[in-house]
Structure 1
Amino acid sequence: MTDSLSSSESALGLLIHALLPLLTVFLFGGFNVWIHPLRHYPGPILWRAFRLPYVVAMHKGQLHKRLKEFHTMYGSIVRIAPNELSYADSWPFHRNRTWFKKHTPDGLHSIMGFDEASHARYKRAFVNAFSDKSLRDQAPIVEGYVDLLVSKLRQSTSKIAELEDVFQSLAFDIGSELSFGESFDSTKSGKTHPWVEVAKDFGKGLALIASINQYPPVDQLLRFVIPKKVLAKMKDHAIMSNAMSQKRLAMDTDRPDFVTPTKKHVEAKGGIGPEEWGINLMILVFASSETIATALVGIFRHLVQHSGVLQHLTTELRTTFSSEDEIRIDPTMYLPYLDAVINEGLRLNPPVAIGAPPKVVPKGGDTTYVSYNQFAANRQAYNFHLPNTFLPERFLASHNHPKDDMTSFNPFSVGRHQFIGLKLAYAEMRIIVARMIFAFDLKLADEKDRFDWGEQETYIFWKKRPLNVVLFPTKELS
């Protein structure tokens, strides 16, 4: 009898030990769903209970699709994790203060992820590098690389060009010249520079680390699930960037780039420590290159899939200019349909699809993250008329539709932390699109190669599919 009782107690003890973890998980999830301060916000129940579904979607490159589905189902504010809200409405970010949180708590601050004090410091230091005067000074550099690209494409023996590689090479050549004082020369050589090759995994690594950091104190252990190849490339990328930054800073010369005006400010008033140059110039190269390359691929993807829009834009450009030499940065600022095409491309394929880095609501909401998710917001019928359709006319003053909420259109972040290089980005996109459409008639190499941009994966930055087009060089207009 005693042995039987002892055996029953042992079995009960084993059962309790087996069920205790499950009970703990259930109680944790139940607290988040029914008791947590954010319990009144709508969202899928598993996502409200646990952070894990968010992390899984991020790791699969599918988070932007899930957020689009949730905002269609639940509305403009969705609870996507126990302590995070996703917004498809930008007005709270314009009205209220939010605070950036770094992706890696032990890492250096950068112009991409920072606290408010660092943000003000960096902005003061870099602002002159992106002024109207600096843009005028930088224009010949940008125009020179576009001249080189068009010349190379005209001389190519192949009629088919893979525009994803073409625009990536061009954008990074310009970005490296303006940041590091030397070009990667990918457009001239036709070869991808090692820095750019390594950078291809930068966004993925950043996304994975950002999601894993949601699980302190075990986040250091969880980092072992990140492929070693990704971590190694990120480390190599940082080493290369620091070396190139130090080389540029050692140049005793003024150049029309990001460094000269910033260096003068730092020498006079401080603002960037010696160890901070490397990470900030790395971010500037990537932000001013990857985003523009992505935008251009998306814009041309839509153009070759919408022949009517392509013809309209071609007509505007070829009736405005009579030669390629006339197409410079300044005159392309005054072409309404060109701007409309660029903006509609940015709406349907924002270079950064998901809100990263997430922001923290201060004063009473210190543990609540909020993010404005561009892709999800731009594809909602409550923000835009025919949200999944490529309609550049919506950005023309004469065609504005009452259901198009242009306050929702924020392709380069939102509020006080909007991308500092916005004017330069638009200048590059305008002249590149204008020169390409003026110089070439183009069409898809394979008419079956049609898809919606959102079908691709994204890890903060898009994993872009190749865009093969046939180029037919045009003659100078008389």
Structure 2
Amino acid sequence: MASEPAASSNSGSGFTSLLPSLQVLTQHPILSLLFLTFLTISTYALYNAYLHPLSSYPGPILWRSFRIPYVLATQRGILHTRLTTFHAHYGPVVRVAPNELSYATASALHDIYGNRGPTHLPFERNRTSFKKMTPDEPNSIVGWHEGDHARYRRGFAQAFSDRAVREQSAVVEAYVDTFMRELKVRAGRGEVVDLERWITYLLFDLSGDLTYGESWRCLEKGAEHPWVAIASDFGKGLALIGSINAYPPIDKLLRYIIPKRILKRSMDHRKMSQVQASKRIYQRGEEERKDWVTPTKKYIEAKGDAWTEKEWGINLLVVAFAGSETTASALTAIVRMLLQNKDVLHRLTEEIRGKFKKEEDIGVKSTGDLEYLNACVDEGLRLCPPVVIGIPRVVPKGGGYGGGGTYVTFNQFSAYRQSYNFPSPNDYLPERFLPPSPTTTIPPANPTIFHPFQLGRHQCIGQKTAMLEMRLVLARLLWTFDIRLKDEEDVWDWGEQATYILWDKRALEVVLVRVDGGGGGGGGGGRQRGG
């Protein structure tokens, strides 16, 4: 019986011992606030890590507890490498934020982004990630609003139909002619050429013509147009704004911390694009122009679905940018992969020079059936997908994948770099995209997981155009020049670059030796023929 009072006494003395600490807190409001803040954050972290409905999914503890590590990785441009490491360590599903799962399997890709049929609710785009810049800005074809997306896509589908793409081929070939002419001049002068820059000039000039009815004249001037220069910060601005949008409802307040330079450049880009769009849609005598506007405009007018000037403005901005930057990134990456893999470069060069006797024979149609060329493009898109980070979706009620309201993504770069999806995932091996052969030991690519242009209702509408552009440019380059890196030691993995939704591309400095279908197989050497 003597033990009970002792226990009570100990309990009382324990509480009494806390009184001085509690008195200190009550006498010092700042300490009280700090203590409550610490307690709140600790409770929040412990709940997210161990009690949250997603607590059973694997992932790094800090990322499971807070979204801040995800945001910081995004702002540093290393999110893609972090996710790749996580998927290699934790497996095909990783919890990368308190309410977000990253997947790296074919089944998840099809469930999240595919057309699930009338009996399944779709995984809609994450509204938090697709907020508009200003309240009065209309939705766009890449926005979260499914109804508006479908409406805009029906219009633009006319501009990217098989017939329209065939009719636009002459425009593409003309710009590639200009691109090649400028490179020949510089090769004749013995200049080192930054192919990243010139490929970007080509694709932006071309998309400017097909979208706004006029070229930016980057190729002609050998310099960026202001619209192109501003566009170079587009990805960084999107990444920063997207990170801030992750913290509603204080995101409106947090926008004030965005550097004014970034906001100003973003708004200037929109204003410049609106002026160009208004100018284009009111052009007269352009009814039969072979571009992306004419068939779209004809269709929506025939359907009685007239778009407002602002709708044209935001959507042409999206199409012009998507039709240039993403293809420029992919093409630059493929050229670098070829120059860093001489055996592949030699085999592709032989295929191209073996088929074409004259440069004028190399066109959009004639390059479509080159088997190894197509394999090289596909393998480049696998290693270096132009859109690096997955487009976030939200799980519908009853949709599985962590439960309704969970954010889910399929991150192409990370998924394609996993050995459980592609053996030797970091090696450039076009043979994996060729038909099976008894002479190769390279396992074939898994077609169910390889969708570089996405799939489902949000699949890239311009993928046919992108593919024909890449094939044509590669064929023209390798038929005309032997190419080598300026610095043969300048060899690195494309994924080492920073990415802010899109790639922050480094220069690709090369030496071009003109051979016009002859030469030493593309790896340098060959007889120079001047400009």
TM-score range relative to shorter protein? over 0.9
Q: Show structure 1 runs of 5+ residues with no match.
A: none
Q: Does 1:25 align with 2:59?
A: no
Q: Does 1:234 align with 2:266?
A: yes
CA separation of 1:8 and 1:130: change in aligned 2, threshold 3 A:
closer
Partners of 1:456 and 1:464 within 8 A in 2 = yes
Among 378, 385, 393, which residue is 2:423 paired with? 385
Among 305, 325, 332, which residue is 2:340 paired with? 305
| Counterpart amino acid of residue 40 in structure 1 | S
Q: Does 1:67 align with 2:83?
A: yes
Q: Does 1:151 align with 2:191?
A: no
Q: Distance in 2 between matches of 1:84 and 1:315?
A: 47
Aligned-pair CA distance for 1:447: 1.2
CA separation of 1:181 and 1:25: change in aligned 2, threshold 3 A:
same
Q: Show structure 2 runs of 5+ residues with no match.
A: 1-17, 117-121, 520-531
C-alpha distance after superposition, 1:103-141 (max 9, x if no partner): 225453111223221221111111010001101110000
SS, match of residue 261 in structure 1: helix
Q: Does 1:323 align with 2:348?
A: no
Aligned to 1:350: 385
CA separation of 1:117 and 1:12: change in aligned 2, threshold 3 A:
same
Aligned to 1:85: 101
Partners of 2:394 and 2:406 within 8 A in 1 = yes
SS, match of residue 95 in structure 2: strand
Aligned to 1:11: 24
Aligned-pair CA distance for 1:220: 1.7
CA separation of 1:438 and 1:476: change in aligned 2, threshold 3 A:
closer
Aligned-pair CA distance for 1:415: 2.8
Aligned to 1:208: 240
C-alpha distance after superposition, 1:350-396 (max 9, x if no partner): 1011113x111222555321111111011000000100000010000
Q: Distance in 2 between matches of 1:180 and 1:113?
A: 21
| Counterpart amino acid of residue 447 in structure 2 | M
Aligned to 2:482: 441
Pick the structure with greater CA Rg.
2
Q: Let me know the Cα RMSD of the aligned residues.
A: 1.9
Q: Does 1:267 align with 2:313?
A: no
Aligned to 2:66: 50
Q: Distance in 2 between matches of 1:279 and 1:239?
A: 10
Among 51, 70, 79, which residue is 1:35 paired with? 51
Aligned to 1:114: 144
CA separation of 1:433 and 1:173: change in aligned 2, threshold 3 A:
same
Q: Which moved more, 1:219-228 or 1:133-142?
A: 219-228
Q: Distance in 1 between matches of 2:53 and 2:415?
A: 25
Q: Distance in 2 between matches of 1:72 and 1:272?
A: 46
* TM, length-normalised to structure 2: 0.86
Q: Distance in 2 between matches of 1:238 and 1:468?
A: 32
| Counterpart amino acid of residue 307 in structure 2 | I
Q: Does 1:296 align with 2:331?
A: yes
Partners of 2:436 and 2:444 within 8 A in 1 = no
Q: How many residues align?
A: 473
Aligned to 1:277: 312
Among 449, 453, 456, which residue is 1:415 paired with? 456
Q: Distance in 2 between matches of 1:350 and 1:114?
A: 22
Partners of 1:124 and 1:271 within 8 A in 2 = no
C-alpha distance after superposition, 1:242-285 (max 9, x if no partner): 00000000112221111111111221221633321111101101
Q: Distance in 1 between matches of 2:21 and 2:255?
A: 42
Q: Distance in 2 between matches of 1:467 and 1:274?
A: 39
Aligned-pair CA distance for 1:6: 10
SS, match of residue 406 in structure 1: coil
Q: Distance in 2 between matches of 1:343 and 1:313?
A: 13
SS, match of residue 324 in structure 2: helix
Q: Distance in 1 between matches of 2:258 and 2:105?
A: 33
C-alpha distance after superposition, 1:421-449 (max 9, x if no partner): 01011010000111011110000001121
Among 399, 410, 414, which residue is 1:372 paired with? 410
Q: Does 1:339 align with 2:374?
A: yes
Q: Which moved more, 1:34-43 or 1:176-185?
A: 34-43
SS, match of residue 301 in structure 1: helix
Q: Distance in 2 between matches of 1:160 and 1:8?
A: 71
* TM, length-normalised to structure 1: 0.95
CA separation of 1:310 and 1:176: change in aligned 2, threshold 3 A:
same
Q: Distance in 1 between matches of 2:362 and 2:49?
A: 57
Aligned-pair CA distance for 1:225: 3.1
Q: Does 1:428 align with 2:469?
A: yes
Aligned-pair CA distance for 1:309: 0.6
C-alpha distance after superposition, 1:44-63 (max 9, x if no partner): 11111111000000000010
Q: Distance in 1 between matches of 2:309 and 2:22?
A: 65
Q: Distance in 2 between matches of 1:362 and 1:273?
A: 32
Q: Distance in 1 between matches of 2:474 and 2:404?
A: 44
C-alpha distance after superposition, 1:10-59 (max 9, x if no partner): 41324543211111111111121222221221111111111100000000
SS, match of residue 333 in structure 1: coil
Partners of 1:198 and 1:237 within 8 A in 2 = yes
Q: Distance in 2 between matches of 1:164 and 1:18?
A: 51
SS, match of residue 331 in structure 1: coil
Among 321, 326, 329, which residue is 1:286 paired with? 321
Q: Which moved more, 1:91-100 or 1:394-403?
A: 394-403
Q: Which moved more, 1:413-422 or 1:197-206?
A: 413-422
CA separation of 1:181 and 1:363: change in aligned 2, threshold 3 A:
same
Q: Distance in 1 between matches of 2:33 and 2:328?
A: 54
Identity %: 49
| Counterpart amino acid of residue 418 in structure 1 | Q
Partners of 2:433 and 2:445 within 8 A in 1 = no
SS, match of residue 368 in structure 2: helix
| Counterpart amino acid of residue 173 in structure 2 | E
Partners of 2:108 and 2:410 within 8 A in 1 = no
Partners of 1:175 and 1:289 within 8 A in 2 = yes
Q: Which moved more, 1:190-199 or 1:38-47?
A: 38-47
Aligned-pair CA distance for 1:405: 2.2
